[in-house]
A and B are shown apart, each in its own frame.
Chain A
Amino acid sequence: MAKEKQDTENLNNNLKRLAEITEWFDNQEEIDVEEGLKKVKEAVELIKASKGRLKTIENEFEEIKKGIEVKENKEEEEDNS
């Protein structure tokens, strides 16, 4: 149970872990329901955390973009005046 308390804030790690889980399901010939359920639960947590993190990143990105656009517009106004 090494991955029980994994850091879900790191999106990159989350995606890697999700890829491992989906791969695990793909390679499972004999379904281990209990293990599968655990994986599903972990994956759901990871997906939830990742979506939240992604939203935060998207919001930060939008803020940065907006900041740059405002600065550029100001500079253009100064150039034209």
Chain B
Amino acid sequence: MTNDEKKQELIFSVSDFIELLNIGLKRSKAKIIGEVGEAKAGPTGHMYFTLKDKKDQKEGMMNCIIWKSRYSLYGIKLQEGMKIVASGYPEIYPPSGRLSFIAETIELAGEGELKKQYDELKKKLEGEGIFAKAKKRPIPKYPQRIGVITSRQGAVLADFLNNIGKFGFKIKMIDSRVEGQLATKDLLASIKTFRKKDIDVLVIIRGGGSLESLMPFNNELLVREVASFPVPVIAGIGHDKDEPLVALAADAAESTPTAVANLLNESWEEALLLVERYERGILGHFEGIFEKYRNAESSLMISFGNFKNTLLNAKINLRSSVNKSFSGFRSLLSKTHLQLEYAEKAVNLNNPERQLMLGYSIARCSGRIVRTVQNAKIGDNIDIQVADGEISSEIKKINNK
């Protein structure tokens, strides 16, 4: 008996058979586009809706389910007539045997719908003040720990890393899909992870794209996560016309990863310039001090020189005044000597004893010096004083000249 023959012979229970079918059906992942028919939420919050279309006179309809956890993720409120793309797989619900499409993601189809949803959400969030400028936090100066959410695919990360300066950044990166509805889930998970990490700033970057490709960045949950993130968030999400709501909610938004890198470099580069300026300032200041010192030193040397000269002059003046005093005094002494000599000579000349020694004598009559013959009479006693005594005699004769 061949295997096929064995299988043919196998008899399944209905539920086992449905289980078997479901295993096979789960492999039939697909994206389907259609218009939403009836849409209603079940008691547990799961969303039950139909998708239908008309094409080339063919008509189709499919029951669809999106689980509550997924439905809340994409921010689309399913309404009748809405055209959407749902991605997922078919599954048979065993209790009813009903085939349903289990939608893992849903996204709006067509620019018109996307734009409409974008505008509505933007208006709503604007009303809440989520995009308010007053709410923006400044990018911290000299950030070090940077959290980066982006895809490893493509040139975005390389652009960012090539342009981020060598300022000792510690970059933590979480790889996330950044395109398509599945990106929303990744982005939300990445942000949640970064909430627990010690970072100074969070960066979300990707390349540019159409409104459709950027739809994950217009997700309400994601926008709220960004707005309430504990540290400032920089969005670097390129766009054509409508700025992604995540970028609007971020504290700073740049159009390219390079611009984001430059923004992070900014305060460091300014600091570098400041350091250079301070360095120049300090050097200039010290140069000034040295210059002042040199000037002070040279003027001090001049002052010393002047002072030495003054001292020398004072010494010379002192010596000359001493010399003058000496010579003045000496001449005074000489003058005194001369005066004494003159006095000595004068006294000697006038010394009557000297005259007597020379042989002159003094004649006295009655004690009076005899100067003329008139002072003497014949018969008078006359006393004659000579050098060594007196001679007494009598006048016998007087001769007139």
Which residue of B326, B342, B362 contacts A65 across the interface (Cβ within 8 Å)?
B326
Minimum C-beta distance from B321 to chain A (A):
11
Is B352 part of the contact surface with A, judged by Cβ < 8 Å? yes
Is B319 part of the contact surface with A, judged by Cβ < 8 Å? yes
Check A43–B343 contact: CB distance below 8 A.
yes
Check A43–B339 contact: CB distance below 8 A.
no
Interface bits A11-33 vs B (CB < 8 Å: 1, else 0): 10001001101100110101101
- Specify which chain B residues have a CB less than 8 angstroms from the CB of A37 in the assembled complex: 351-353
Cα A40 to Cα B344 in complex, Å, equals 9
Range for the number of chain A residues in contact with chain B: 20 to 34
List, sorted by A's number, 15 A–B pairs whose CB atoms are closer than 8 Å.
A11-B336, A15-B339, A15-B343, A19-B343, A25-B349, A33-B352, A36-B352, A37-B353, A39-B350, A40-B350, A43-B344, A54-B337, A54-B340, A58-B333, A61-B329
Check A40–B352 contact: CB distance below 8 A.
yes
Task: Please give the residue numbers on chain A whose beta carbons come within 8 Å of chain B beta carbons, in ascending order.
Answer: 11, 15, 18-19, 21-22, 25-26, 28, 30-31, 33, 36-37, 39-40, 43-44, 46-47, 50-51, 54, 57-58, 61, 65, 68, 72, 75
Contacts A18-B343, A68-B322 given; does A25 touch B350 at CB 8 Å: yes
Is B371 part of the contact surface with A, judged by Cβ < 8 Å? yes
Is B347 part of the contact surface with A, judged by Cβ < 8 Å? yes
Range for the number of chain B residues in contact with chain A: 20 to 34
Check B351–A40 contact: CB distance below 8 A.
yes
Is B283 part of the contact surface with A, judged by Cβ < 8 Å? no
Task: Please give the residue numbers on chain B whose beta carbons come within 8 Å of chain A beta carbons, in ascending order.
Answer: 315, 319, 322, 326, 329-330, 333, 336-337, 339-340, 342-344, 346-347, 349-353, 362, 369, 371, 385
- Specify which chain A residues have a CB less than 8 angstroms from the CB of B369 in the assembled complex: 33
Q: How many A-B residue pairs have CB under 8 A?
A: 69
CB closest chain-A residue, reference B356: A33
Cα A7 to Cα B87 in complex, Å, equals 149
Cα A58 to Cα B385 in complex, Å, equals 42
CB closest chain-B residue, reference A42: B347
Contacts A37-B353, A61-B329, A65-B326 given; does A44 touch B347 at CB 8 Å: yes
Check B339–A72 contact: CB distance below 8 A.
no
- Specify which chain B residues have a CB less than 8 angstroms from the CB of A57 in the assembled complex: 333
Check A54–B336 contact: CB distance below 8 A.
yes
Contacts A37-B353, A54-B340 given; does A25 touch B346 at CB 8 Å: yes
- Specify which chain A residues have a CB less than 8 angstroms from the CB of B350 in the assembled complex: 25, 28, 36, 39-40
Check B352–A47 contact: CB distance below 8 A.
no
Cα A2 to Cα B369 in complex, Å, equals 26
- Specify which chain A residues have a CB less than 8 angstroms from the CB of B343 in the assembled complex: 15, 18-19, 21-22, 43, 46-47
Contacts A33-B369, A61-B329 given; does A21 touch B337 at CB 8 Å: no
- Specify which chain A residues have a CB less than 8 angstroms from the CB of B371 in the assembled complex: 30
Check B333–A47 contact: CB distance below 8 A.
no
Give me 16 other A-B pairs in contact (C-beta within 8 A), A26-B346, A44-B347 excluded: A15-B340, A21-B343, A22-B342, A28-B350, A36-B351, A37-B352, A39-B347, A40-B347, A40-B351, A43-B343, A43-B344, A47-B340, A47-B344, A50-B340, A54-B337, A61-B326
CB closest chain-A residue, reference B371: A30
- Specify which chain A residues have a CB less than 8 angstroms from the CB of B339 in the assembled complex: 15, 18-19
